[in-house]
Protein backbone atom coordinates (compact mmCIF):
# COMPACT_ATOMS: atom_id res chain seq x y z
CA UNK A 1 0.00 0.00 0.00
CA UNK A 2 2.72 2.39 0.97
CA UNK A 3 4.72 1.41 -2.13
CA UNK A 4 1.76 2.27 -4.42
CA UNK A 5 1.27 5.61 -2.76
CA UNK A 6 4.94 6.36 -3.23
CA UNK A 7 4.82 5.55 -6.96
CA UNK A 8 1.75 7.72 -7.34
CA UNK A 9 3.52 10.50 -5.58
CA UNK A 10 6.51 10.22 -7.87
CA UNK A 11 4.29 10.15 -10.98
CA UNK A 12 2.41 13.26 -9.88
CA UNK A 13 5.64 14.98 -9.01
CA UNK A 14 7.07 14.37 -12.49
CA UNK A 15 3.84 15.49 -14.17
CA UNK A 16 3.90 18.73 -12.28
CA UNK A 17 7.49 19.38 -13.32
CA UNK A 18 6.79 18.62 -17.02
CA UNK A 19 3.60 20.70 -17.19
CA UNK A 20 5.33 24.12 -17.38
CA UNK A 21 7.69 22.77 -20.03
CA UNK A 22 4.77 21.60 -22.18
CA UNK A 23 3.03 24.92 -21.70
CA UNK A 24 6.17 26.81 -22.73
CA UNK A 25 6.66 24.56 -25.74
CA UNK A 26 3.02 25.06 -26.82
CA UNK A 27 3.30 28.88 -26.52
CA UNK A 28 6.45 29.03 -28.64
CA UNK A 29 4.77 26.81 -31.25
CA UNK A 30 1.79 29.14 -31.44
CA UNK A 31 4.05 32.15 -31.86
CA UNK A 32 5.93 30.43 -34.63
CA UNK A 33 2.67 29.59 -36.39
CA UNK A 34 1.53 33.20 -36.08
CA UNK A 35 4.82 34.45 -37.57
CA UNK A 36 4.64 31.97 -40.41
CA UNK A 37 1.00 32.89 -41.10
CA UNK A 38 1.80 36.59 -41.16
CA UNK A 39 4.76 35.98 -43.44
CA UNK A 40 2.65 33.90 -45.80
CA UNK A 41 -0.09 36.54 -45.82
CA UNK A 42 2.48 39.26 -46.57
CA UNK A 43 3.94 37.22 -49.42
CA UNK A 44 0.44 36.60 -50.79
CA UNK A 45 -0.37 40.31 -50.60
CA UNK A 46 2.85 41.21 -52.40
CA UNK A 47 2.17 38.54 -55.03
CA UNK A 48 -1.38 39.83 -55.50
CA UNK A 49 -0.16 43.40 -55.88
CA UNK A 50 2.43 42.32 -58.44
CA UNK A 51 -0.15 40.27 -60.32
CA UNK A 52 -2.60 43.20 -60.41
CA UNK A 53 0.15 45.53 -61.57
CA UNK A 54 1.21 43.15 -64.31
CA UNK A 55 -2.40 42.68 -65.37
CA UNK A 56 -3.02 46.41 -65.58
CA UNK A 57 0.26 46.97 -67.41
CA UNK A 58 -0.62 44.30 -69.93
CA UNK A 59 -4.12 45.73 -70.35
CA UNK A 60 -2.78 49.21 -70.94
CA UNK A 61 -0.29 47.85 -73.42
CA UNK A 62 -3.11 46.08 -75.26
CA UNK A 63 -5.12 49.32 -75.28
CA UNK A 64 -2.14 51.21 -76.66
CA UNK A 65 -1.62 48.55 -79.31
CA UNK A 66 -5.31 48.61 -80.22
CA UNK A 67 -5.25 52.37 -80.87
CA UNK A 68 -4.55 53.28 -84.51
CA UNK A 69 -1.02 54.55 -84.92
CA UNK A 70 -0.39 56.78 -87.88
CA UNK A 71 2.86 56.16 -89.61
CA UNK A 72 4.42 58.75 -91.90
CA UNK A 73 3.13 56.75 -94.87
CA UNK A 74 -0.39 56.82 -93.47
CA UNK A 75 -0.16 60.58 -92.91
CA UNK A 76 0.98 61.05 -96.49
CA UNK A 77 -1.90 58.81 -97.59
CA UNK A 78 -4.38 60.99 -95.64
CA UNK A 79 -2.99 64.13 -97.27
CA UNK A 80 -3.34 62.45 -100.65
CA UNK A 81 -6.97 61.55 -99.91
CA UNK A 82 -7.73 65.16 -98.91
CA UNK A 83 -6.01 66.48 -102.02
CA UNK A 84 -7.91 64.00 -104.22
CA UNK A 85 -11.20 64.98 -102.58
CA UNK A 86 -10.58 68.69 -103.13
CA UNK A 87 -9.52 67.97 -106.70
CA UNK A 88 -12.72 65.97 -107.26
CA UNK A 89 -14.86 68.83 -105.92
CA UNK A 90 -13.08 71.32 -108.17
CA UNK A 91 -13.50 69.07 -111.21
CA UNK A 92 -17.20 68.65 -110.42
CA UNK A 93 -17.64 72.42 -110.19
CA UNK A 94 -15.80 72.82 -113.49
CA UNK A 95 -18.09 70.26 -115.12
CA UNK A 96 -21.15 72.12 -113.78
CA UNK A 97 -19.80 75.43 -115.11
CA UNK A 98 -19.11 73.90 -118.51
CA UNK A 99 -22.57 72.36 -118.56
CA UNK A 100 -24.13 75.70 -117.63
CA UNK A 101 -22.06 77.37 -120.32
CA UNK A 102 -23.53 74.98 -122.88
CA UNK A 103 -27.12 75.66 -121.80
CA UNK A 104 -29.09 78.16 -123.90
CA UNK A 105 -29.40 81.59 -122.31
CA UNK A 106 -29.84 85.25 -123.18
CA UNK A 107 -29.61 88.57 -121.37
CA UNK A 108 -30.42 91.79 -123.22
CA UNK A 109 -30.40 95.41 -121.98
CA UNK A 110 -32.76 98.03 -123.38
CA UNK A 111 -31.81 99.78 -126.60
CA UNK A 112 -30.84 103.29 -125.57
CA UNK A 113 -31.47 104.89 -128.94
CA UNK A 114 -35.18 104.09 -129.06
CA UNK A 115 -37.54 107.07 -128.84
CA UNK A 116 -40.96 106.44 -127.32
CA UNK A 117 -43.92 108.76 -127.70
CA UNK A 118 -45.14 110.52 -124.58
CA UNK A 119 -48.40 108.64 -124.04
CA UNK A 120 -49.71 105.85 -121.80
CA UNK A 121 -50.15 103.30 -124.60
CA UNK A 122 -48.67 99.80 -124.36
CA UNK A 123 -45.78 99.03 -126.71
CA UNK A 124 -43.12 96.32 -127.22
CA UNK A 125 -39.61 97.03 -125.93
CA UNK A 126 -36.66 96.54 -128.28
CA UNK A 127 -33.39 95.31 -126.85
CA UNK A 128 -29.73 95.87 -127.62
CA UNK A 129 -28.34 92.52 -128.74
CA UNK A 130 -24.89 94.04 -129.41
CA UNK A 131 -24.55 94.84 -125.68
CA UNK A 132 -26.18 91.63 -124.45
CA UNK A 133 -25.41 87.92 -124.57
CA UNK A 134 -27.05 85.27 -126.73
CA UNK A 135 -26.08 81.63 -126.28
CA UNK A 136 -28.03 79.16 -128.46
CA UNK A 137 -30.77 81.79 -128.55
CA UNK A 138 -31.83 84.10 -131.38
CA UNK A 139 -33.18 87.64 -131.27
CA UNK A 140 -35.38 89.45 -133.78
CA UNK A 141 -37.67 92.47 -133.63
CA UNK A 142 -37.88 92.69 -129.83
CA UNK A 143 -38.33 88.93 -129.49
CA UNK A 144 -36.17 86.23 -127.95
CA UNK A 145 -36.46 83.14 -130.16
CA UNK A 146 -35.87 79.65 -128.76
CA UNK A 147 -33.49 77.36 -130.65
CA UNK A 148 -33.43 74.36 -128.31
CA UNK A 149 -36.72 73.16 -126.77
CA UNK A 150 -36.95 72.71 -123.03
CA UNK A 151 -38.10 74.20 -119.75
CA UNK A 152 -36.89 77.80 -119.37
CA UNK A 153 -36.92 80.55 -116.79
CA UNK A 154 -37.95 83.90 -118.25
CA UNK A 155 -37.36 87.21 -116.45
CA UNK A 156 -37.73 90.92 -117.14
CA UNK A 157 -37.10 94.14 -115.28
CA UNK A 158 -38.19 97.63 -116.25
CA UNK A 159 -37.46 100.84 -114.38
CA UNK A 160 -39.46 104.03 -114.91
CA UNK A 161 -38.10 107.48 -114.13
CA UNK A 162 -39.75 110.88 -114.27
CA UNK A 163 -37.95 114.20 -114.50
CA UNK A 164 -39.84 117.46 -114.22
CA UNK A 165 -37.59 118.80 -116.96
CA UNK A 166 -39.37 116.63 -119.55
CA UNK A 167 -40.76 119.10 -122.07
CA UNK A 168 -43.93 117.10 -122.66
CA UNK A 169 -44.65 116.05 -119.08
CA UNK A 170 -47.77 118.20 -118.92
CA UNK A 171 -49.38 116.06 -121.63
CA UNK A 172 -49.72 113.10 -119.26
CA UNK A 173 -51.73 113.00 -116.07
CA UNK A 174 -49.11 111.99 -113.49
CA UNK A 175 -51.64 111.95 -110.65
CA UNK A 176 -52.97 108.56 -111.74
CA UNK A 177 -50.11 106.96 -113.69
CA UNK A 178 -50.20 103.24 -114.54
CA UNK A 179 -46.80 101.55 -114.96
CA UNK A 180 -47.39 98.01 -116.22
CA UNK A 181 -45.15 95.25 -117.53
CA UNK A 182 -46.24 92.16 -119.49
CA UNK A 183 -44.33 89.09 -120.70
CA UNK A 184 -45.86 87.36 -123.74
CA UNK A 185 -45.24 83.96 -125.31
CA UNK A 186 -45.75 83.31 -129.02
CA UNK A 187 -46.10 79.62 -129.87
CA UNK A 188 -44.54 78.79 -133.21
CA UNK A 189 -46.70 75.65 -133.55
CA UNK A 190 -49.94 77.65 -133.71
CA UNK A 191 -51.41 78.07 -137.17
CA UNK A 192 -52.36 81.61 -136.20
CA UNK A 193 -49.90 83.19 -133.82
CA UNK A 194 -51.83 84.37 -130.80
CA UNK A 195 -49.62 85.63 -127.98
CA UNK A 196 -50.14 84.09 -124.56
CA UNK A 197 -49.70 86.39 -121.59
CA UNK A 198 -47.27 84.67 -119.19
CA UNK A 199 -47.20 87.31 -116.47
CA UNK A 200 -48.22 90.85 -115.59
CA UNK A 201 -46.94 93.22 -112.93
CA UNK A 202 -47.05 96.92 -112.07
CA UNK A 203 -49.19 99.44 -110.29
CA UNK A 204 -50.81 102.85 -110.27
CA UNK A 205 -48.54 105.58 -108.95
CA UNK A 206 -48.99 109.12 -107.77
CA UNK A 207 -45.60 110.76 -107.93
CA UNK A 208 -45.33 113.70 -105.57
CA UNK A 209 -41.59 114.39 -105.75
CA UNK A 210 -41.21 117.63 -107.72
CA UNK A 211 -37.98 116.93 -109.56
CA UNK A 212 -37.43 113.16 -109.70
CA UNK A 213 -39.37 109.93 -109.23
CA UNK A 214 -38.53 106.28 -109.95
CA UNK A 215 -40.33 102.92 -109.91
CA UNK A 216 -39.06 99.45 -110.96
CA UNK A 217 -41.11 96.41 -111.96
CA UNK A 218 -39.52 92.94 -111.99
CA UNK A 219 -41.01 89.52 -112.66
CA UNK A 220 -40.10 86.03 -113.83
CA UNK A 221 -41.46 82.51 -114.21
CA UNK A 222 -40.73 79.09 -115.69
CA UNK A 223 -42.31 77.95 -118.95
CA UNK A 224 -42.02 75.03 -121.36
CA UNK A 225 -40.89 76.26 -124.76
CA UNK A 226 -40.54 74.66 -128.17
CA UNK A 227 -38.17 75.46 -131.00
CA UNK A 228 -38.79 78.87 -132.64
CA UNK A 229 -41.17 80.00 -129.88
CA UNK A 230 -40.90 83.74 -129.21
CA UNK A 231 -40.94 85.83 -126.03
CA UNK A 232 -41.29 89.59 -125.71
CA UNK A 233 -42.04 92.33 -123.16
CA UNK A 234 -44.70 95.05 -123.39
CA UNK A 235 -44.94 98.07 -121.09
CA UNK A 236 -47.17 101.05 -120.65
CA UNK A 237 -45.77 104.60 -120.58
CA UNK A 238 -42.57 103.47 -122.26
CA UNK A 239 -41.44 107.09 -122.55
CA UNK A 240 -40.57 106.93 -118.83
CA UNK A 241 -38.29 103.87 -119.16
CA UNK A 242 -34.85 104.01 -117.59
CA UNK A 243 -32.25 103.51 -120.34
CA UNK A 244 -29.56 102.14 -118.06
CA UNK A 245 -28.51 98.51 -118.73
CA UNK A 246 -28.87 97.54 -115.06
CA UNK A 247 -32.30 99.15 -114.80
CA UNK A 248 -34.20 97.68 -117.76
CA UNK A 249 -33.38 94.25 -119.21
CA UNK A 250 -34.87 91.00 -120.50
CA UNK A 251 -33.50 87.45 -120.26
CA UNK A 252 -34.01 83.72 -120.39
CA UNK A 253 -32.09 80.55 -119.49
CA UNK A 254 -32.79 76.87 -119.82
CA UNK A 255 -33.42 74.85 -116.65
CA UNK A 256 -34.06 71.35 -118.01
CA UNK A 257 -35.44 69.40 -120.92
pTM (predicted TM-score): 0.60
pLDDT at 177 (0 to 100): 81
Please state the φ and ψ torsions of residue 170, each to the nearest 5 degrees.
Answer: -75, -5
Maximum pairwise Cα distance, the chain: 175
CB 172 within 8 A of CB 120: yes
132 dihedral zone (left: phi>0; alpha: psi -120 to 50; beta)? beta
Domains of the chain and CATH, by start: 104-256 (2.60.120.40)
pLDDT at 134 (0 to 100): 96
pLDDT at 106 (0 to 100): 97
Per-residue pLDDT of the chain (257 residues; tens, 9 = 90+): 555 554 555 455 545 555 455 544 555 666 777 777 777 787 777 777 766 766 666 654 554 555 555 556 655 666 777 877 888 888 777 776 766 568 999 999 999 887 888 888 899 999 999 999 999 999 999 999 999 999 999 999 999 887 665 555 555 667 678 899 999 999 887 666 788 999 999 988 777 666 667 889 999 999 999 999 999 999 998 988 988 888 999 999 999 98
pLDDT at 127 (0 to 100): 96
Spatial CB neighbours of 185, under 8 Å, sequence gap ≥ 6: 195, 196, 197, 198, 223, 225, 229, 230, 231
pLDDT at 254 (0 to 100): 96
Amino acid sequence: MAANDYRAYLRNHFDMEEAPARVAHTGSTHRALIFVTLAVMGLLQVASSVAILLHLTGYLREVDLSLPQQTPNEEMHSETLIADTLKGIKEKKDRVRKKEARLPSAHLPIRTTTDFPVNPSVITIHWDESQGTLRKIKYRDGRILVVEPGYYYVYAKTCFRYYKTFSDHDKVDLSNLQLLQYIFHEKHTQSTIKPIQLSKSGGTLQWNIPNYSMCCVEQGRGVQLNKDDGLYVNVSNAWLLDREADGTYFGIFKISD
